[in-house]
Structures are given as C-alpha cells and as structure tokens.
Amino acid sequence: MTRDPEDPGGSDAPSSFLTHPEHLFPRLTAHEISRLRCFGILRHWAAGEMMIKAGRSDVNMFVIVSGAVSMMSGDRLRGSHPVAELHAGNFTGEIGQLSGRHLALVDAVAIEPVDAIEMRPEQVRTLINAVPELGERILHALILRRIRAMEIGMGPVLIGHSQNQRLRELRGFLTRNAHPYSVLEMDTDREAQVIVDQFGMTTDELPVAICPNGTILRAPTDAQLAAALGFLSDLDTSCVYDVAIVGAGPAGLAAAVYAASEGLSVLVLECSAPGGQAGASAKIENYLGFPTGVTGQALAGRAYTQAIKFGAHIAIPVQATALHCAERPYSLETRGGTAVRARTIVIASGAIYRRPAIAGLDEFEGRGVYYWASPIEARMCVGADVAVVGGGNSAGQAIVYLASHAARVHVLIRKDNFETTMSRYLIDRIAGLANVVTHPRTEIECLEGDDGGLTSAVLTTPLDNGSARLDVRYVFLFTGAEPNTEWLRTCRVELNAQRFVLTGAAVPGSQPAAADATAVNLMTSVEGVFAIGDVRAGSTKRVAAAVGEGAAVVAQIHQLLASAGIDSSVIGLRA
C-alpha cells in the first residue's frame, strides 16, 4: 500500500503518538466530566450495542462515564482491526466530526454496559469555546487523532495506476483537505489487481475509490468523492448569512475566523481546498511567528480548524459561479444551480494559475506539466531532472523543495537574475544548492513527449552546451496568476484593466475617506460587497497581508451593519 512520504498521511515509520497514547486518548477527571454534563445528554448502551458506525455522518461525540468501548477501524475492504479501548473519562471523535459533516472513520461497540454523555457537533464547539482549559485538551486530542488516521491510511482506498492523472488529482484533493486515505497502485500492489478482478472493474473505470461504508466510486470527480465522504454538505438555501466569503485562501480563512468568533453567521465557499495558492507552498519561512517555517497546508489546516471551531460553515468543493447584487440580501449562485443569500459578501477568490503560450501545453498538463510542487509531485521526481519556470517567491519555494528530491533542478527565468522578483532569503537559499542550475533570459517554446508523457522542453535560447532542448519529464510552471473574477460578471463590481477588484479610493467616483476611517477601505463599488487578498487591486501579494485584510474586513462589515441599524452583537442569531 502506498502513502505520500512527505505528508502526515504518508509516514510508514512508527508514530510518536503510539508511545504517548495519553495525548491521543486523554482521560478526563470526574470533576471535568461533571463540568461538561450540561453540554449533552446522558445515555446508556448495553454490552455489544453499536455506538458509532463507520461511514455514517450522523455521529456525535461520547464522553464515557462508566463501562468500556472498543474502537475498531471501519475498513469494509480488508477487515477491521482494533484502534483503542476507551474507559471512563475517555471520549470518542476526531477533528473532522467537529463540523458535523465528515463520516465516521471507526466503529465503536460497547464491550460492557456503558453510560456516556452524548454531544452533538455544535454542543462540542460550544464546550470548546465556553470552557477553554478543558476545550483545549479535547481539541488537541481530536486533531492528533486525525493526524494518526492519516498516518495509518484510514478512510477511502484509492486504486489505480501510479501515473494516472485522475488518481494524482484525487490524492491531491484529499491531501490538501487533510482527509485520511490510502492508495493501492496497480503497478506495484498485488492486492490492487485482486480487488479490481473481485469487483469486475475495467481499466476505463480506474481509478476507483472504495469508501469506509462500502460505497465504490468509479473514476469519481472531486465533488463526487467529497459527497461520498460526507464533507460536501447541502447548502441551506433558506438561511440568510451575515457574511458569505468566496474563497478559503489565507484572506478568506482569516475573515471566516474573525467573523465567526464575533458571532456573525458565516458561509465560506471554496472550489478546491483550504489555503488557495498558499496552501500548495512547500514551506513559508517569512510568516510572523514561524521562525523555522510552516507548510502552506499546515497553516491552512490550522486556520480551517479555527473557523470550524467558531461555527463557520465551510463548503468544499463548492464553486461560486455568479453574484447577483440587484437587491439585498445578495444572492450567490453555485455550480449546479443552488443559490445562497447573504447580507454582505467578501470576495476572496484569489487568482488562478496563468497558462503561458507554450506549444503542447494542453497535451502535457498533468502528464509532466504542473502548477504546484506538492509531496505527490515531488515523490515522482526523485532522482530525475526537472525544470522550474518562474522567478517569484512561489517559484523560489518550489525550487528549494524540489532540490531535496530531484537530481537536478533547471530554473528558467526571463530576467538576468532573481533580484527584483524574489525575497532575499530564498535567493540565498537557492545560491547554496549545488543541484540547482539557473538559466537566465530563457523560456520554453514548446513541449515534446511520447505516450508516457513529457520527454523534453524546447527552449527559446540555447543552453551553455549549445543545445536548445532540455531533457526533462517534469516541468513546474510558476509564471504568475490571473485574478479569479469571472464569476463577478453578473454584478456591477468595478474591476481594473487587469480585472482585479477595485476597492476604496480606487473606485471611480468614490468619496475621500474620513479621518477616522480604516486605513485601507476594502469596500468595492457595491455597498456590502468587499474584496480582500490577491484578488483585490493594489493588495500586497503576501500571506501575512492577506490575513491582515481578512481581519480588517470584519471590522468594516460591523461598521456597515451598524450604520444600517443592525445590532452586530445579535446579528448571528437573526434568520
């Protein structure tokens, strides 16, 4: 069975959590149990009775008051095995269930008569926020259990050929959403062929996903897989949210955390995974408070958990396709036709990767050409020569990361050097890498390959050896991004010539800001519609700046609602 070696879900080494089970399964004292009784109800189960069924979405947390509970992995494909035995003071659950939308990963059976306090997800969130010293212990354990589930490959089993693009996309989707999974590769795992034959699957149906509840998905889309795993929830079309945020990058997640923590009802729509482009960063080293760096996925995962903790509804993968702002509350249309309403809108849809004019690009996307460098791609590049195109910070982070896997990294840039486009710490880091070769004033003219994928890149400028062909099977493009604003065509939000969203004083005909106004006015040309992060014209394209705008926009939303005569202290309770 294959897992991704650079991810929490990919370590085959013994977990440190196994030597510290008290972190995974802490035991609450009698006093602590008494404090949380008011957050749930006391229930009884007879010996042998099922308390939790793997694959079910209607799963609550249970705090054991008396008795014993056996936790078993819910693997319907290869048989279940023991995970833990819980006694008085222990509790069930993992972080995915905090939202109330993820399917249970384990079975729980009473092995003797059990009394336990049952708490719904919203009651658990209330407990975590109301009793912080106790909530912190519980939240920590729930997070560690999700990490452990990723380490041992619980959850769905993906089966397919290692070079299959759809299989790589499914792996990337689950990895970026921090969902446990395992992979059986047809090329190397004998078990994979046995299962394929057992279920009568054809090559055209690969890859397949076998879910914990036994559901088999043949060549599923991301949305189909998310729905089967329970984290694609139905949108509440009857609700009017206080704020709807489009995009769960650093800016959108920051806005969700601050808005939800202040009592606003928050909906976040994200078409892929938390973190946006920053979520694909192998290591962010210039973000305040992380002197040794933090991966984009880790940063996004923590922000996602914070937003869920405060009650934000984050819908993934759901794509906003249109904003209708002729009347308030505003209406957001999603792919599939479902529409949701909100009093205010925050545009945090970021940018989409720019596709340079390279002949053959369409043919080799996903078959040798990639727009990010995650552990999945890095694993394929071990011992190979690769090319990175671009001279910005995203390219720099990818260069440093890929250099630890690839035999050689060829860097192609249009300018003479990185001085005006990349942070100094990355320039210095790259200068110290012996297997990185930079080719200035060099671009790719066309791509060539065979049935197996990309084989070489033809260059506009010959290399030092006189050759205009670079023999590489992997090319990583970091050539900038275009603002993701096409979905705003149905609204009168003003854009600049490059289609970034104008805000504040940049909006044509806007009035000068008052002396006590927020330094950066994030309102667009439409009242109640704001823009933050990379999608906003004039924004600083840095993670820290995006987070700052996410926090600032919430204050401006409160000001707007107050001026409209709406009490923001109770607005989250309004229908």
pLDDT of 313-336, one tens digit each? 999 999 999 999 999 999 999 998
Q: Which tokens sit at 573? A: 């309770």
Per-residue pLDDT, 10: 34
- Report, as an integer, the average pLDDT of 389-416: 94
Cis peptide before 21 (omega within 30 of 0): no
State pLDDT tens for residues 64-115: 999 999 999 866 666 678 889 999 999 999 998 888 878 898 999 999 999 9
Per-residue pLDDT, 17: 41
Question: 4 Cβ partners below 8 Å, 6+ apart?
Answer: 10, 171, 175, 375, 376, 379
- Report, as an integer, the average pLDDT of 401-428: 95
- Report, as an integer, the average pLDDT of 361-388: 90
Q: Report whether pLDDT(465) > 90.
A: no
- Crossing angle (nearest 10°) for helices 296-309 and 121-130: 100
Q: 């440190």: which residue's tokens?
A: 16
How is 484-505 classified by DSSP, letter by letter? --GGGTTS---B-TT-PBP-GG
CA torsion sign for 57, 61, 67, 70 is positive
- Report, as an integer, the average pLDDT of 448-467: 90
Look at 346 and 97; give whichever has higher pLDDT: 346
The number of C-alpha atoms within 13 Å of 138 and in the hemisphere containing its C-beta is 31
Per-residue pLDDT, 523: 96
Per-residue pLDDT, 535: 96
Question: 160 Cβ partners below 8 Å, 6+ apart?
Answer: 166, 167, 183, 185, 186, 206, 207, 208
Q: CA 540, CA 494: separation in Å to the nearest integer?
A: 19
Per-residue pLDDT, 76: 63
Question: 336 Cβ partners below 8 Å, 6+ apart?
Answer: none
Q: CA 462, CA 405: separation in Å to the nearest integer?
A: 26
Q: CA 421, CA 345: separation in Å to the nearest integer?
A: 33
Per-residue pLDDT, 19: 43
Look at 567 and 346; give whichever has higher pLDDT: 346
The average confidence (pLDDT) of the chain is 89
CA distances from 23 to 28, 90, 145, 201, 535 (A): 12, 11, 9, 42, 41
Q: CA 419, CA 198: separation in Å to the nearest integer?
A: 58
CB 278 within 8 A of CB 249: yes
Per-residue pLDDT, 16: 40
Question: 444 Cβ partners below 8 Å, 6+ apart?
Answer: 356, 358, 387, 389, 412, 457, 458, 459, 460, 475
Per-residue pLDDT, 512: 58
Local structure of residue 513 (DSSP, 8 states): P
Which is the CATH superfamily of the domain at 16-151? Answer: Jelly Rolls (2.60.120.10)
Element spanning 307, H or E: helix 296-309
* Report for 62-76, 226-240, 381-395: range of highest mean pLDDT: 381-395
Which residues is 72 bridged to in the sheet?
A: 82, 107
Hey, where are the domains in the chain?
Answer: 16-151, 157-229, 240-353+482-573, 361-479
Q: Report whether pLDDT(187) > 90.
A: no
- Report, as an integer, the average pLDDT of 203-224: 91
Q: Report whether pLDDT(448) > 80.
A: yes
Per-residue pLDDT, 337: 87
HEC states along 40-72? CEEEEECCCCEEECCCCCCCCEEEEEECCEEEE
CB 429 within 8 A of CB 400: yes
State pLDDT tens for residues 496-552: 999 999 999 999 887 655 444 555 799 999 999 999 999 999 998 889 999 999 999
Q: CATH: 3.30.950.10, 3.40.30.10, 3.40.1010.10, 3.10.20.600. Which one for 157-229?
A: 3.40.30.10
Percent of the chain with pLDDT over 70: 92
CB 251 within 8 A of CB 532: yes
Per-residue pLDDT, 57: 81
Global confidence as pTM: 0.86
Q: What is the domain class of 361-479 according to CATH?
A: alpha beta
- Report, as an integer, the average pLDDT of 127-155: 92
| Polymer length of the chain | 575
Min mean pLDDT across 245-259, 279-293, 344-358, 474-488 is at 279-293
The number of C-alpha atoms within 13 Å of 326 and in the hemisphere containing its C-beta is 4
Do 361-479 and 240-353+482-573 have the same topology in CATH? yes
Per-residue pLDDT, 282: 77
* Report for 55-59, 260-264, 289-293: range of highest mean pLDDT: 260-264
Look at 15 and 406; give whichever has higher pLDDT: 406
Burial of 458 (0-12, 13-18, 19+ CB in 10 A): middle
Grade residue 212 by pLDDT with cuts at 50, 70 and 90.
confident
Please check whether the domain covering 240-353+482-573 is classified as CATH 3.50.50.60. yes
Q: 């009093």: which residue's tokens?
A: 343
CB 530 within 8 A of CB 345: yes
